[in-house]
Amino acid sequence: MHRSLAGTFAISFIFATSGCVAPAIAYDRGFSENRETIASTQASISIANASGATFRMRDGRATIVGTEGDLIKATLELKPHPDRDFRGKCDKSVARGATVSMRRLEKTIEIEAGGIDRIRCAEHWRIEVPRSSSLTASGDVARIDVSEMRADTYVTVDVGNISISSRKGSASGLVKSVGNVNVLSGSADYEDAIVKADVGRTELSIDGHRVDAPRAPGPGGRIALRGSGTDKLRAETGVGNAKLEVNR
């Protein structure tokens, strides 16, 4: 049963996009799974007493899925980079020295590629993490997709696309420069829900009801709802489109 928006939330700082709207940005070129795999490596570790995982990548694509159990499993494939003029050749002899680095640092498991200082390849990740553990993921030029999480989830890229599907906890997607953000949250206990694009479209919906806001001057927009809980829900980008759906 859906609760009334008017009776539950205070709407504040609402600005919609103006008539000048940026087109959808899609950084799929070079992140495609169809490219040849130059080298592949994998690793796993028990999350044990750690409260969460931190993942860091450079260029490429990552699919992160929340699962049952206490194991973190990661597979890394290195593939030719789309921008060869800038990145250079993805050399097989060097790429085969890459590793999946997992190390325990206090209450966090840190995940990243190891042995790739001289590698000019795109990283393609498939990672499984315990869904009840917090996750912080970041990339330089990357597409990062996260699903089936039940804890705080934070994803940041400099340039690229972000997709987050989280059943509970805070959920935040931030593109610092150019790219799209889509966040789907099942949280019924949030402190605020914010959608922002400096240049581009913004969309916020609660339980299937889109939050409409008056247009404001300028090429971007910001929509914010204030709740009475603790979770922070955010979809923010510099240039691109930002969308947040809350389905409790």
Band (pLDDT 50/70/90 cuts) for residue 197 is very high
Cβ(81)–Cβ(30) below 8 Å: yes
* Tens-digit pLDDT profile for residues 85-128: 455 577 787 788 889 999 999 899 999 998 876 667 889 999 99
pLDDT of residue 21: 43
C-alpha span between 189 and 184 (Å, rounded): 14
At 209 the pLDDT is: 87
CB 22 within 8 A of CB 199: yes
Q: Look up the pTM and report it.
A: 0.86
CB 177 within 8 A of CB 159: yes
pLDDT above 80: residue 187: yes
184 touches 165 (CB < 8 A): yes
DSSP state of 200: S
The count of other CB atoms within 10 Å of the CB of residue 232 is 18
Mean pLDDT of 27-35: 55
